[in-house]
Structure 1
Amino acid sequence: MIRLSIPLRQALSRLSLPVLIAVAFGTMLLGKADTLLVERSRMALADVLSPIYAALAEPVGAARDMMQEVRELIALRADNVALREENERLRRWQAAALALEGEVTLLRRQLSFTPDSEPSFRTARVVADGGGTYARAVLLAIGPHMQVRKGQVALDERGLAGRVTEIGSRSARVLLVTDINSRMPVTLEGSRARAIMAGNNTDRPRLQHWPEGVLPVEGERVITSSDQSQAFGGLPSGLPVGEVRWSASGAAEVELYARLDRLDLLRIFDFGLAGILPPEAVARPEPRRGR
């Protein structure tokens, strides 16, 4: 083995940096002078290294794919467990529904119950959000063939939205249940207690006047209550409205099923009940005459 003297090693170490700088400058000048040669050299080096890169990339890609498959298997296992639990709940609900269906059928047979006829409805498009004299109302475009009456209820695909209050030749205005002028008789489905749902110009109308000793339960389902009084114009019972929510201030509110902020189409139902009569059609008692 050849050993270099210390002075020679020191001289070489001092010259290494200038030599490297000179080589770098020479390469740069060569690249400027003959770009075609540099490009060919670079591509030749790339051709030599590409199989090495490909060989190194295969195990890395395989490991990445394997980790992705492991993550997907873990997610599928979690989804499978959730689906099994949901399927079990649905089976219990199905058994309960079948038992209730048999019980209802038996009770109807014993009572000679005549079921109500299916209500008819007309679908109309919401063309404006202008409430006119109301803060929260929508305007519907109706054709001359649509027989719409005041007091008829309007529902979207999820639940109760409001009631028809004004009718024109080609339009109708629906007062939404969130308007401060709206009052709806409702039933708390869990306790069967009746209450009044009053609009307050917010997204959640409030519950009022429920019976003493009965408190609305958080999450309890709210449906319409059948009321044949003139004030509510024969509202049908059992229409889905929403669920009870208690506010931070301690007020019982209703989180509506209907999406009133994105109404596009509304169904106007005719349940065969008398609608709200216009003021001029309401019979007024004659004034008493003095003797």
Structure 2
Amino acid sequence: MIRLSIPLRQALSRLSLPVLIALAFGTMLLGKADALLAERARMVLADALAPIWATLQQPVASVRGAVQEAEFLLNLRAENAQLREENERLRRWQATALALEAENVVLQRQLRFVPEAAPAFQTVRVVADGGGIYARAVLLGIRPNHGVRKGQIALDERGLVGRVTEVGLRSARVLLATDMNSRIPVVLEGSRARAMMVGTNGARPRLQHWPEGSAPEDGERIVTSAEAGAFPAGLPVGIVRRSEGGAPEVELFARLDRLDVVRLFDYGLGGILPPEAVARPEPRPRR
């Protein structure tokens, strides 16, 4: 093996940088002088390296696939453990529900409980804005011998819409829950406190007259109360939302701005209060 002396090696190292720079400039000049020749040289180099790259990519792809498979198995194991935990929790809830159902049956037998019959209803199409003495009402098109009467409850597929206040031969008017004449007794589901939902002619009615110490909480569900016999208990109404001033309002479940059809339910309420006590007409404000 030939060993170069230290001065010779230093001289070669000093010459290597200028030589490389000269080769680079020569390649650039060659490429500018003959672009076709440079392109052919690049393609020859690419053709020579392509099989090598293809060969090297196979083990890399295999390693990548193995890593992804391992990650998938780890995620699958974690998901399986989570599903087992949820399944166990659901089994406990099922056992609790079955126990409560059995207890409910026993209590109903002891109290000689008579279940309420399912209310009769009919589906009716909304034909127009009701107008008349109410600011927020809709007019329904009904057929002759319809069986619609004052006081029936109107609902859409989401929740409470309002109550029938006027009935004609081929039409009926429903006072919406947002009208300023609307007064609906409700229950706060969280605290079970009673309150009164009052229409404002806006999109959200207000809540009033709740018991002291049971202020409505934001996000709390609202259902109807059977107090005064005007409405059945438990009909879905909406959710409590706070206004900018902090007043509790109700975001209704029903889409009153998109009413095409409503269902009129006859709950057979004799009604301790007449409809006029819950919907007392007031002069319609000018728009």
**TM-score when normalising by structure 1:** 0.67
- Letter paired with 2:102: L
Asked if 1:272 corresponds to 2:268, the answer is yes
Asked if 1:54 corresponds to 2:28, the answer is no
Pick closer, same or farther for the CA change 1:174–1:30 going to 2, 3 Å.
Answer: farther
- Letter paired with 1:70: L
Asked if 1:240 corresponds to 2:236, the answer is yes
CA distance in structure 1 between the aligned counterparts of 2:32 and 2:146, rounded to whole angstroms = 84
What is the 5 A alignment of 1:94-173? Answer: 94-108=98-112, 113=114, 115-125=115-125, 130=129, 132=131, 134=134, 136-138=136-138, 142=142, 146-165=146-165, 172-173=172-173
65-74 vs 134-143, greater mean Cα deviation: 134-143
- Letter paired with 1:235: F
CA distance in structure 2 between the aligned counterparts of 1:47 and 1:170, rounded to whole angstroms = 84
1:32 counterpart (29, 36, 57): 36
1:14 match? 18
Asked if 1:224 corresponds to 2:225, the answer is yes
Pick closer, same or farther for the CA change 1:65–1:253 going to 2, 3 Å.
Answer: same
Instruction: Give unpaired runs (5+ residues) of structure 2.
Output: 277-287
- Alpha-carbon RMSD across the aligned residues, in angstroms, is 4.2
What is the 5 A alignment of 1:242-257? Answer: 242=238, 251=247, 253-254=249-250, 256-257=252-253
Shift of 1:53: 1.2
CA contact (8 A) 2:31 2:38 kept: no
**TM-score when normalising by structure 2:** 0.68
Shift of 1:21: 3.1
CA distance in structure 1 between the aligned counterparts of 2:253 and 2:91, rounded to whole angstroms = 25
Summarize deviations over 1:20-45 as a string: whole Å, max 9, x none: 23235545766534857754652452
CA contact (8 A) 1:216 1:244 kept: no
CA contact (8 A) 1:188 1:216 kept: no
Summarize deviations over 1:228-250 as a string: whole Å, max 9, x none: 5xxxxx53344333466777867
1:288 match? none
Shift of 1:99: 1.0
Pick closer, same or farther for the CA change 1:87–1:126 going to 2, 3 Å.
Answer: farther
Instruction: Report the 3-state secondary structure (helix = DSSP H, G, I; strand = E; otherwise coil) of the residue aligned with 2:228.
Output: coil
- How many residue pairs align between the two structures? 267
Pick closer, same or farther for the CA change 1:49–1:189 going to 2, 3 Å.
Answer: closer
